[in-house]
């Protein structure tokens, strides 16, 4: 796939000279391209919590750069003092969102650099942290590129593909996960028809996926989440591709709320349901979906946000989990950078690592 940045701006970048994490504010898209330069740990934490930077792989890259920036600011030559302050900053960033394992995965990878560096000077460790954070981003790009190749091997020209939330370039460093086969197929003239769930309550599908895929010149149709089963019944959907925030050792996969009902509908209509996830999203330390912590978000996201005026009674109770878990038996295959993993996932995921 061409290495061209599909949108003309980076989802996440590091400006080392200015000691800033640079992101496009995803809460302002598609209407406004607002670039944020985040210098403090609080700003970075808020950006992750508020979904200004979001999507499991992009959160991981932002956290890697964020913890590097924190380390850079630690003004000591004493290793123990440095390691203690580093651990505090790591735990703080790790508390921003619980479900996407990429956050703790990236932070623990950065933490290992500090651990093994105990015999080195603090300045050397800081240089290694910079190199590691850049490697995390470079690997993310490569993993998504390979997911595109493996995903496309399952598809034929002219197919209808349905996706949920945004597992696109905006959720990663480039290409996306679920969208990587779409970008690649588009480049190779496959002429896919893409169906994109709007993804209540935060509209990542409408605001982000519909935006980035249509900007790339694809044929995109936007659906409210509850319309996906009807699109399948109409025979418009040949495959469902979604991302994941955490894949457990048995193949259960957490992804944006609304993914699970999509998988049930896909089963009902015999439509293959694919999860696209880089290795950084696979968590063999989590046995099953039951062990995945699901983030609960504020009620206002359902009752008020996006509306000119509140659209629900003032005192109404709200259930607003950000993610759901799709059971492994509903998943046709998990597509990683290494290939297409088939059930039983307990075995194929073990072999994968
Ligand atoms: O709450 P979000 O927008 O961070 O949720 C994102 C998703 O659920 C994505 O599908 C997932 O992180 C995979 S991104 C490649």
Q: Is 245 one of the annotated active-site residues of the chain?
A: yes
Considering only CA atoms, give the Rg of the chain. Answer: 20
353 near 282, Cβ under 8 Å? yes
pTM: 0.96
83 part of a folded domain: yes
Same domain, 189 and 322: yes
249 part of a folded domain: yes
Same domain, 154 and 114: no
Among candidate residues 122, 144, 166, the one where a domain is terminated: 144
Calculate the alpha carbon distances from 115 to 98, 130, 132, 150 in Å: 24, 15, 13, 36
346 near 251, Cβ under 8 Å? yes
Among candidate residues 93, 115, 144, the one where a domain is terminated: 144
Spacing, Cα 80 to ligand 1 middle (Å)? 36
Identify the domain containing residue 75 by its residue range: 12-144
Same domain, 97 and 219: no
What distance in Å separates the CA atoms of residue 181 and residue 144, rounded to the nearest whole number?
Answer: 9
Q: What is the pLDDT of residues 126-162, one digit of tens each?
A: 999 999 999 999 999 999 999 999 999 999 999 999 9
Among candidate residues 116, 144, 172, the one where a domain is terminated: 144
Q: What is the pLDDT of residues 187-243, one digit of tens each?
A: 999 999 999 999 999 999 999 999 999 999 999 999 999 999 999 999 999 999 999
Total residue count of the chain as it appears in this document = 353
What the block records as the tokens of 273 is 């349901």
Spacing, Cα 115 to ligand 1 middle (Å)? 30
Residue of 12, 24, 165, 177 to test ligand 1 pocket, by largest number of atoms within 8 Å of CB? 165
Q: How many CB atoms lie within 10 A of CB 158?
A: 10
Residue 325 backbone class (left: φ over 0; alpha: ψ -120 to 50; beta: rest): beta
Same domain, 223 and 212: yes
CA proximity to 62, closest of 7, 116, 22, 115: 22
183 near 6, Cβ under 8 Å? yes
Same domain, 134 and 64: yes
Which atom in ligand 1 lies closest to the alpha carbon of residue 102?
Answer: 12
pLDDT of residue 328 exceeding 70: yes
Coil/strand/helix, residue 16: coil
Same domain, 64 and 173: no
Alpha carbon 71 to chain centroid, angstroms: 25
Same domain, 136 and 266: no
The domain tally of the chain equals 2
CA proximity to 129, closest of 109, 148, 103: 109
């Amino acid at each position: 796939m061409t290495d061209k940045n599909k949108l003309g701006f980076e989802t996440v970048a590091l400006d080392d000279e200015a000691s800033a994490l640079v992101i496009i504010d995803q809460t302002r898209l598609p209407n406004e391209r607002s670039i944020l330069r985040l210098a403090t740990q609080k700003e970075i934490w808020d950006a992750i919590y508020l979904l200004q930077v979001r999507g499991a792989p992009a959160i991981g890259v932002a956290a890697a750069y964020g913890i590097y920036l924190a380390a850079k600011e630690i003004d000591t030559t004493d290793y123990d003092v440095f390691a203690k302050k580093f651990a505090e900053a790591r735990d703080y960033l790790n508390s921003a969102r619980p479900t996407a394992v990429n956050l703790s995965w990236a932070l623990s990878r950065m933490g290992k650099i500090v651990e093994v560096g105990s015999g080195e000077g603090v300045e050397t460790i800081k240089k290694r942290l910079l190199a590691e954070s850049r490697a995390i981003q470079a690997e993310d790009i490569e993993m998504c590129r390979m997911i595109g190749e493996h995903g496309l091997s399952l598809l034929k020209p002219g197919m209808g593909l349905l996706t949920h939330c945004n597992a696109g370039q905006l959720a990663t460093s480039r290409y996306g996960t679920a969208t990587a086969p779409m970008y690649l197929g588009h480049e190779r003239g496959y002429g896919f028809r893409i169906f994109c769930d709007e993804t209540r309550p935060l509209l990542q599908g409408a605001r982000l996926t519909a935006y980035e895929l249509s900007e790339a010149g694809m044929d995109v149709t936007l659906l409210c989440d509850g319309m996906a089963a009807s699109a399948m019944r109409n025979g418009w959907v040949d495959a469902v591709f979604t991302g994941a925030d955490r894949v457990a050792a048995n193949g259960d996969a957490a992804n944006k709320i609304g993914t699970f009902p999509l998988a049930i509908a896909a089963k009902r209509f015999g439509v293959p349901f694919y999860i696209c996830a880089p290795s950084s999203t696979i968590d063999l330390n989590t046995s099953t979906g039951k062990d995945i912590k699901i983030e609960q978000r504020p009620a206002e996201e359902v009752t008020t946000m996006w509306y000119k005026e509140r659209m629900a009674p003032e005192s109404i109770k709200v259930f607003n989990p950000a993610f759901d878990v799709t059971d492994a038996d509903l998943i046709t295959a998990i597509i990683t950078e290494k290939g297409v993993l088939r059930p039983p996932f307990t075995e194929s995921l073990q072999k994968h690592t």
